[in-house]
Structure 1
Amino acid sequence: MTAAKDQSQIRNYELYASGEQKIDWVQAHMPLLRQLEAQFRETQPFAGQRISMCLHLEAKTAYLALVVQAGGADVAIAGSNPLSTQDDVAAALVHRGVKTFAWHGATPEEYKAHLNAVLDHDPIALIDDGADLATILHQERPEQAARIHGGCEETTTGIVRLRAMAQEGILKYPMIGVNDAMCKHLFDNRYGTGQSVWDGFMRATNLVIAGKTVVVVGYGWCGKGVAMRAKGLGANVIVCEVNPVRAVEAAMEGYAVMPIVEAAEHGDIFIAVTGNKAVIHKAAMERMRDGAILGNAGHFDVEVSKPDLESLATSITRVRPNVDEYRLADGRRIYLIAEGRLVNLAAGDGHPAEVMDMTFALQALGLREVLTNSYPPGLHMIPETIDLEVARMRLDSWGVRIDALTDEQVKYLNSWQ
């Protein structure tokens, strides 16, 4: 602990007791990670290895870091978003011997310094979120990038960036795309995002969802979850999409589908969840009703165009924690949640522990996979065997049993006759 305390950069070490309570709570509700922690403690798959992580620094990710540490790793972690870091959890990690570089509300310069600090740890492997570590390594520290053995990527935005790097042939090490695993996007993205977005929104605003018109911009797995939970809360839902297949899906789920500029006239609440920039833009903002509320569930704070919003505003006032009022020249008010950063983590505690249990089991097993097997540089799917293992672990934790194919059924399925 002393070395970690001396080397870390956190807000206040004395907060650690509160952070440990949070970690203990999620640990009690993450049976898959508890199982892997016990297994890793015995097998030591990361013995003597330096591993750096960049994740939203709250209790569930803290427990993942501790599970990797239990496997013998020397772990350093930075937050992947300045507003999602919980200072007491950061202190608790330091107290438990994890080098930690993050504090809530870090400036862009401080945030960048924290990312560089975990890379100064000289890791051989990474767990990345949004490919921020990968970007710094390849743009500014290419010699170090060549020494990385591999790692895992958490989120859609990171997969997009890594795929682009791989297509250009510049990705210097193998990365397993955990986000593409079935046990990640089918459950974390859909049920985790769906619940946590509305949790964060309601904490920030203390407003009812029922009876309002919610505009969901993007109908990928995260958007499906946000729309589903909005509908369940009693909202009327409009979906905006650029992909015709997803637009058909939304229409067949009973949602209205239209361009964002048309939806702008009807919406009370707008949630962007695309992984792209400026999907809620000036042309839409100019047509929004007084009191419209904008939120983002994508990784970076670019989906709601803040420059456009600022250009329209005559004044900006913080009216509640995590709620800024932009007053327009004609008197209309548009509200932005959590400065346009991830509403579920900046204004809440993120996804439920039971959902992240599956995702972080994939992360832990994916990290072991990439370090114990030979993968060429590039972006790789997580093996189906790991996906299925995590699903079985989930069912076992619930006490749920399922059928198995007979030998005759397997033979039949493998025959063309």
Structure 2
Amino acid sequence: MDYDVKDLSLADAGKDRIEWAFQTMDVLKSIQEDFEENKPLKGKTIGACLHVTTETANLVITLKKGGADVYLCASNPLSTQDDVAAALVKHYDIPVFAIKGEDRDTYYKHLNAVLDKKPNITMDDGADLVSLLHSERKELIKNIIGSTEETTTGVIRLKSMEKNGVLAFPVIAVNDANTKHMFDNRYGTGQSTIDGILRATNRLIAGSVFVVCGYGWCGKGLASRAKGMGANVIVTETDALRALEAVMDGFRVMPIKEAAKIGDFFCTVTGDIHVIRKEHFELMKDGTIVANSGHFDVEIDVKGLRGIAVSQRDIRPFVREYKLKNGRRIYLLAEGRLVNLSAAEGHPSSVMDMSFANQALSAKYLVEHGSELEKKVYKVPDELDAMIASLKLKSLGVEHDELTEEQKEYLSSWTIGT
């Protein structure tokens, strides 16, 4: 079997952790049972570019049990859990091309290794496989039924491709499913980002000034969790409605140039480029900690930071100190990459349960309906979204009301008034 992982001797530990995660992935568990029985993906090849974590492992195992040939590479050079990669290869016979800390050349070699398998469906976390297919591997597009996309950042890229008329096949925006972005982005990113910052720094958040750059679903989750840890939270935003929402949620809102003067912690979650720049670093206090939890390492201008630093050193794992000419020190976490997956383990399995249920069911949907779809970005079908929510509630032992026939009639009528 063709694969490239760090060390197969890590496989047993990885298998234990995969099984641990699966204990709280009841929705995916029910889908896996159905897939194993009915083989809806039989004969199809799936190329997945995702964070190689215990939760992702359970997704690709589910896809394989559904009859697919699955090949996995990392969607970020620092997010791979090497023991999980080894376990997938050794214990589950799933080819993995991922090594934590791999350089850019190795990263793209691994992307191409997955595409070399001529997938019929791609699963992306940031749209790198899709981008590569459209730029350097166009000859493989004829094999593609469709793709799925996990992240806000990736969906932005794909909608741009659709708008410009270059998207060559349909894509299901898993990120836009309610059972993904309302829970994974908010509760998953909120908790795991705080976890990554704490593991990297071991600094006290209570009483600090914590600046959240961006108030989308990820920013809302992070701001809420930082507030829960006792921080004084400031939000920076470019969107007036989101800025207003942050104010109504009880947070201070101000421009980044003002927040830069008073923040102790900064974390970007915008999906955009150079949110924190050279002019902001020059305003920061001595000892400021800067992190990113957006998908790509572009939100913090790391090159600009290097340019104004007189010295730099790694002072702790995932913590690099940059000393500026004014004598102040800025501490950058995880090279400006996703701090929650670089310095910690990413989202808890119970929330990824819904996200990966969306992925698995979207793959099945593409097999069944891909030929009917246009070259556009689609939502996860509402009925799948609702089914996942119901399955999650059931797994939690929670019951909820259903509409009576009278209520259904009332809601569908325009003649019933006061």
Alignment TM-score, normalising by the size of structure 2: 0.98
Partner residue of 1:58 out of 32, 53, 61: 53
Find the counterpart in structure 2 of residue 401 from structure 1: 399
Find the counterpart in structure 1 of residue 23 from structure 2: 28
Shift, 1:361, TM fit: 0.5
What is the rounded CA distance, in whole Å, between the counterparts of 2:357 and 2:101 in structure 1?
29
Give the alignment's Cα RMSD to 1 decimal: 0.7
Letter in 2 for 1:277: I
1:96-117 deviations in whole A, cap 9, x for unaligned? 1111111011110000000000
Find the counterpart in structure 2 of residue 312 from structure 1: 308
Shift, 1:143, TM fit: 2.2
Shift, 1:393, TM fit: 0.5
- Give 1:261-276 correspondences, 5 Å limit: 261-276=257-272
Residue 351 (structure 2) pairs with residue 355 (structure 1): yes
1:2-59 deviations in whole A, cap 9, x for unaligned? x3xxx11111112111110110110111111111111100010011211110000111
Find the counterpart in structure 2 of residue 128 from structure 1: 124
Find the counterpart in structure 1 of residue 317 from structure 2: 321
Letter in 2 for 1:398: L
Partner residue of 2:193 out of 180, 187, 197: 197
Partner residue of 2:115 out of 116, 119, 122: 119
Partner residue of 1:90 out of 75, 80, 85: 85
What is the rounded CA distance, in whole Å, between the counterparts of 1:281 and 1:219 in structure 2?
19
Residue 75 (structure 2) pairs with residue 77 (structure 1): no
Partner SS state of residue 315, structure 1: strand
What is the rounded CA distance, in whole Å, between the counterparts of 2:82 and 2:404 in structure 1?
53
Find the counterpart in structure 1 of residue 144 from structure 2: 148
Letter in 1 for 2:180: K
1:46-82 deviations in whole A, cap 9, x for unaligned? 1121111000011110110000001011100000011
Shift, 1:86, TM fit: 1.1
What is the rounded CA distance, in whole Å, between the counterparts of 1:384 and 1:114 in structure 2?
34
- Give 1:341-380 correspondences, 5 Å limit: 341-373=337-369, 374-380=372-378
1:379-409 deviations in whole A, cap 9, x for unaligned? 1011110110000000000111111111111
Gap runs ≥5 in structure 1: none
What is the rounded CA distance, in whole Å, between the counterparts of 2:28 and 2:148 in structure 1?
16
Letter in 2 for 1:86: Q
Find the counterpart in structure 1 of residue 384 from structure 2: 386
- 8 Å CA contact 1:146, 1:173 repeated in 2: no
Partner residue of 1:332 out of 328, 333, 350: 328
- Give the 4+ runs in structure 1 shifted more than 3 A: none
Shift, 1:223, TM fit: 0.2
Residue 191 (structure 2) pairs with residue 211 (structure 1): no
What is the rounded CA distance, in whole Å, between the counterparts of 2:196 and 2:290 in structure 1?
13
Partner SS state of residue 374, structure 2: coil
1:74-95 deviations in whole A, cap 9, x for unaligned? 1000000111111111111111
What is the rounded CA distance, in whole Å, between the counterparts of 1:66 and 1:262 in structure 2?
48
Shift, 1:147, TM fit: 2.2
Letter in 2 for 1:312: I
Find the counterpart in structure 2 of residue 108 from structure 1: 104
Partner SS state of residue 196, structure 2: helix
- 8 Å CA contact 1:146, 1:172 repeated in 2: no
- 8 Å CA contact 1:82, 1:105 repeated in 2: yes
Partner SS state of residue 56, structure 2: helix
Partner SS state of residue 389, structure 1: helix
Find the counterpart in structure 1 of residue 278 from structure 2: 282
Letter in 1 for 2:55: K
Alignment TM-score, normalising by the size of structure 1: 0.98
The number of equivalent residue pairs is 412
Find the counterpart in structure 2 of residue 302 from structure 1: 298
- 8 Å CA contact 1:273, 1:297 repeated in 2: yes
Find the counterpart in structure 2 of residue 41 from structure 1: 36
- 8 Å CA contact 1:84, 1:345 repeated in 2: yes
Between the aligned residues of both structures, percent identity stands at 50
What is the rounded CA distance, in whole Å, between the counterparts of 1:104 and 1:194 in structure 2?
23
1:151-172 deviations in whole A, cap 9, x for unaligned? 2100001000100011111111
- 8 Å CA contact 1:78, 1:118 repeated in 2: yes
